[in-house]
Amino acid sequence: MRVLQLLSDGLFHSGEALGVELGVSRTAIWKQISRWRKKGLNIDVVHGKGYRWRSPLEWWSAEKLLQHMQPETRRIVTDLQILQVTDSTNTVIYEQLRKNGRSGSVCLAEEQTTGRGRRGREWVSSLGSGLTGSIGWCFDQGVAALEGLSLAIGLSVVRALKRYGLEEAGLKWPNDIMLGSAKLGGILIELQVDGDGRCLVVVGIGLNIAVPGELDAQLNRPVTDVSRAIGSKVIERNRLGAYVIEEALLMLKNYRPGSFAELHEEWCRYDVLAGQSVEIEGGQETIRGKALGVDIHGALLIDTPSGMQAISSGEVSLRGI
């Protein structure tokens, strides 16, 4: 990490100078830099000049994140952990919630080794390429009160992106964050009802910020990132991260039974599936038809040859794509 801090100015540094600064050999510097390059950081190696990190990252900083939040949101945060690397931030927050049942715990990681996606998939991200974070919340009113929550969290991410200046983000039911037909981010909500009937909810958010080309190819489906979307290489990660956490926390804090009905109209404004021919893969059957938005409970409405159907879970794909 220390070598990256020295390279954070985006200028060339010789191996020798870095070695002197850190009290290690030039070979040790080379080994460290090779490791970071393998993790996807674009560090140039130029003979006679040394090393240069072309697009240095703004690392997550608890202090900066809190600074970018409104004072009233800051008060909702009960714990803010920044981890260099972890298996999955959802696991970290779940363990914490199980121990203390306290709403408002937040964890962000620079790197996840076994990030989880929806429907048992893996969430692939590389060091610093995005936002990988989770928030823990405890609901007292039972599972029924959570109807539509996963869609509402998607909406909170779109609100955060708009605040950052990205106006065009959309939502693909239930909660993919999209830019046109390319995925910008996703949400994984995991929950558990404890012995007292309380619902422990972990909201996991993955957002692509600056995905390296190699990772792009590995994902074999259209993905995009905030950096491309707003046409800037320099992303103020802590400002963007603060907005995402803030909007999600406010959504969680104010969420009540029936809340989605109030958000329904706003959600539909960002619906990228509306009017499209879609296929929904459920447990045993595939439903085909035209997507007609969502109802006030958050179910996807599909106009099928056998009539209108309201779908509450499944994987949607656009037909013919």
- Please give the residue ranges that form the binding site for ligand BTN (CB under 6 A): 88-90, 112, 115-118, 121, 123, 132-134, 176, 186-188, 204-206
Residue closer to ligand BTN, measured from CB, 3 or 80: 80
What is the closest distance, in whole angstroms, from the C-beta atom of residue 112 to ligand BTN in the complex? 6
Residue closer to ligand BTN, measured from CB, 161 or 205: 205
Structure tokens at 227: 């950096």
Residue closer to ligand BTN, measured from CB, 78 or 114: 114
What is the closest distance, in whole angstroms, from the C-beta atom of residue 178 to ligand BTN in the complex? 11
What is the closest distance, in whole angstroms, from the C-beta atom of residue 128 to ligand BTN in the complex? 14
Question: 3-class DSSP state for residue 316?
Answer: strand
Residue closer to ligand BTN, measured from CB, 32 or 112: 112
CB burial class (10 A; 0-12, 13-18, 19+) of residue 55? middle
Torsion over CA: 178, 169, 231, 134 (sign): negative
Residue closer to ligand BTN, measured from CB, 199 or 244: 244
> What does the alpha-carbon distance between residue 139 and residue 214 come to, in Å, rounded to a whole number?
41
Residue closer to ligand BTN, measured from CB, 176 or 247: 176
What is the closest distance, in whole angstroms, from the C-beta atom of residue 87 to ligand BTN in the complex? 8
Residue closer to ligand BTN, measured from CB, 33 or 240: 240
Residue closer to ligand BTN, measured from CB, 136 or 204: 204
What is the closest distance, in whole angstroms, from the C-beta atom of residue 3 to ligand BTN in the complex? 26
Contact 51, 44 (CB under 8 A): yes
What is the closest distance, in whole angstroms, from the C-beta atom of residue 189 to ligand BTN in the complex? 9
What is the closest distance, in whole angstroms, from the C-beta atom of residue 97 to ligand BTN in the complex? 14
> What does the alpha-carbon distance between residue 180 and residue 168 come to, in Å, rounded to a whole number?
8
> What does the alpha-carbon distance between residue 114 and residue 130 come to, in Å, rounded to a whole number?
15
Structure tokens at 163: 């605040």
DSSP letter at 273?
Answer: S
Residue nearest to ligand BTN (CB): 186
Q: Which of 271, 284, 266, 283 is nearest to 318 (CA)?
A: 271
What is the closest distance, in whole angstroms, from the C-beta atom of residue 89 to ligand BTN in the complex? 4
Buried b (16+ CB within 10 A) or exposed e, 145-168: ebbbbbbbbbbbbbbbbeebebee
Contact 226, 184 (CB under 8 A): yes
Q: How many CB atoms lie within 10 A of CB 34?
A: 12
